[in-house]
A and B are shown apart, each in its own frame.
Chain A
Amino acid sequence: MALEAKNISFRYSRKEPWVLQACDLSLARGERLALFAPSGYGKTTLARLLAGYLTPTEGQVLLDGAPLPKTGVCPVQLIFQHPEKAINPRWRLKRVLEEGGILREDILDAFGIERPWLDRFPRELSGGELQRFCVARALMSGADYLICDEISTMLDVITQAQIWNVILDEAARRNMGLIAVTHNRHLARRVAGRIYDLSRRQWDAADSNGA
């Protein structure tokens, strides 16, 4: 029971250089890992590959030994760095949430989503408020794996902590696999059991407990 990247390489086109080469990664359910690297090392690219938004140029992404399903709700859900791009600007937020599945009041409460926000349009909310909707939507879809691509870089410390607490609770309760992409070593230490440094292609020495 795991999400695996098997020897994947990726480039955006033939003309462009490799972004990732021969990358291996494995995440079991219930496990939490952080992806850490400076800007431009392909963190977002790897996250998109793992969630099926991109197809590897070489190698395979496998879920429990099989390729990711092409139809139906994908068990691996990705949350983007920029929430406003992941939401249809013409939809009220209630509709946005319902695209993920049935509304769960407990998740709305945990994120501090105020009910009047549900009737607003995305441009009427702040980035941090929108990001909570994106996370809530992914959680309501019933995903087994959650990949968070720098979801909290634009948020203040308190909001950041609130969102991560909900994610960690839910992940623990549902035995989800979790990948946190981040620039922030403190955050990485706090949310993840192990940290992979994409720039040095190694498990972080300080926190290494398995590769």
Chain B
Amino acid sequence: MRRFNRRTQVVFLAALLAVMLLGVYLVGALIPESAYASNYLTAKQPPSWAHPFGTDSLGRDLLMRTLKGLSISMTVGLAASAISAVIAVLVGIAAATGAKWVDAVINWIIDLVMGVPHTILVILISFALGRGLRGLLIGIAATHWCSLARLIRGEVLQLRNETYIAVSRRLGKGSGWILAHHLLPHLVPQFFVGLILTFPHAILHEASISFLGFGLPPEQPAIGIILSESMKYLSTGMWWSAVFPGLLLVLNVLLVDKLGDQLRRILDPSSAQE
């Protein structure tokens, strides 16, 4: 991929990702439950034309289950990263424009949240909120806004000193107007890059927490659940039940991560010319 410039790479990645995400999402949402219903006659089958990913110990088709699981994981991941990006923008702006003590308190909280390992925090929060989707969402969102909030804070601090903002004030515009018209539009790219960069984290956290049994309930075929079930049967030689869902998860995460990284570099003026 070295031969293509960054913009081409981003467009290519974004297109690939869009197709893949949309495909997975649509298929996942459209799959009827019957497609991955248990069927003891087809239990523990290795990959074949009828079941490309094989079947699990209950005879459920693993391709369908994986797609459904990815679709759920992606919904959780998207929702969690969107919430955390919104938190980051609000907190970042509050820190940059609020009183000194507000900034100090926010910085203190950021240090605190960043100091504790995410997985432990997410487990604690989602456990305290009674597991399930809601706890998981809040747990992931509450732990992933920190670095974006820092970035936004710095950006707003710099913007606040721009001459055109001072001019706007002298032309009679209030703080709310300036925030909506001068500041927020400037933060849109950061918001989306932050969201995209958080997305793979969110999916991985969802998968790992569910895998550990603290996240989504077992009846939802999230990727973490599929992987954790497949672990039980790995020793019996059912390699396919872990390998295919795992690979698809990793592929998704890598793609999104790569896209976010390239976008970030395009927006970063020091490497934008590459």
Contact assessment for A85 and B162 in the assembled complex, using a CB-CB cutoff below 8 Å: yes
From B163, B174, B185, A85 is in contact (CB under 8 Å) with: B163
What is the CB-to-nearest-CB distance from A94 to chain B, in angstroms, rounded to a whole number? 14
Residues of A close to B174: CB separation below 8 A: 71
CB within 8 Å of A: which B133-169 residues: 162-164, 166-168
**A72 contacts the other chain (CB 8 A):** yes
Question: Taking chain A's interface residues, is the majority helix, strand, or loop, or is none over half, making it mixed?
Answer: loop
**A15 contacts the other chain (CB 8 A):** no
| Mask: chain B, 170-185; 1 = CB below 8 Å from A; 0 = not | 1111100000001001
CA distance A74 to B174 in the complex (A): 12
**A25 contacts the other chain (CB 8 A):** no
Residues of B close to A53: CB separation below 8 A: 166, 170
CA distance A90 to B183 in the complex (A): 11
* Given known A88-B182, A90-B185, A90-B186, contact A80–B163 (CB-CB < 8 A): yes
**A30 contacts the other chain (CB 8 A):** no
| Mask: chain A, 63-74; 1 = CB below 8 Å from B; 0 = not | 000000001111
CB within 8 Å of B: which A55-97 residues: 71-74, 77-78, 80, 85-88, 90
CA distance A90 to B173 in the complex (A): 18
Question: Taking chain B's interface residues, is the majority helix, strand, or loop, or is none over half, making it mixed?
Answer: helix
CA distance A100 to B170 in the complex (A): 10
Residues of A close to B171: CB separation below 8 A: 73-74, 77, 99-101, 137, 141
Report the nearest B residue to A48, measured CB to CB: B166
Report the nearest B residue to A95, measured CB to CB: B181
From B167, B172, B182, B185, A86 is in contact (CB under 8 Å) with: B167
Residues of B close to A86: CB separation below 8 A: 163-164, 167
**A146 contacts the other chain (CB 8 A):** no
What is the CB-to-nearest-CB distance from B239 to chain A, in angstroms, rounded to a whole number? 53
What is the CB-to-nearest-CB distance from A30 to chain B, in angstroms, rounded to a whole number? 22
CA distance A53 to B186 in the complex (A): 23
* Residue count of chain B within 8 Å CB distance of chain A: 14
What is the CB-to-nearest-CB distance from A46 to chain B, in angstroms, rounded to a whole number? 16
CA distance A41 to B229 in the complex (A): 77
CA distance A99 to B163 in the complex (A): 14
Residues of B close to A87: CB separation below 8 A: 164
**A47 contacts the other chain (CB 8 A):** no
**A51 contacts the other chain (CB 8 A):** yes
* Given known A90-B185, A90-B186, contact A85–B170 (CB-CB < 8 A): no
What is the CB-to-nearest-CB distance from A91 to chain B, in angstroms, rounded to a whole number? 9
Report the nearest B residue to A80, measured CB to CB: B163
Residues of A close to B164: CB separation below 8 A: 85-88
Report the nearest B residue to A87, measured CB to CB: B164
Residues of A close to B172: CB separation below 8 A: 71-74, 141
Residues of B close to A88: CB separation below 8 A: 162, 164, 182
**A42 contacts the other chain (CB 8 A):** no
Report the nearest A residue to B163, measured CB to CB: A85
Contact assessment for B170 and A52 in the assembled complex, using a CB-CB cutoff below 8 Å: yes
Residues of A close to B182: CB separation below 8 A: 88
What is the CB-to-nearest-CB distance from B187 to chain A, in angstroms, rounded to a whole number? 11
CA distance A78 to B173 in the complex (A): 16
What is the CB-to-nearest-CB distance from A165 to chain B, in angstroms, rounded to a whole number? 24
What is the CB-to-nearest-CB distance from B33 to chain A, in angstroms, rounded to a whole number? 49
Contact assessment for A78 and B170 in the assembled complex, using a CB-CB cutoff below 8 Å: yes
What is the CB-to-nearest-CB distance from B153 to chain A, in angstroms, rounded to a whole number? 20
Instruction: Please list 11 pairs of residues, one from A and one from B, whose beta carbons are closer than 8 Å in the complex, sorted by A's number.
Output: A53-B170, A80-B163, A86-B164, A88-B164, A88-B182, A90-B185, A90-B186, A99-B168, A99-B171, A99-B173, A137-B171
Chain A residues within 8 Å of B, Cβ to Cβ: 51-53, 71-74, 77-78, 80, 85-88, 90, 99-101, 137, 141
Q: A88-B164, A137-B171 are in contact. List 5 more A-B contacts (CB 8 A).
A: A52-B170, A74-B171, A86-B164, A88-B182, A90-B186
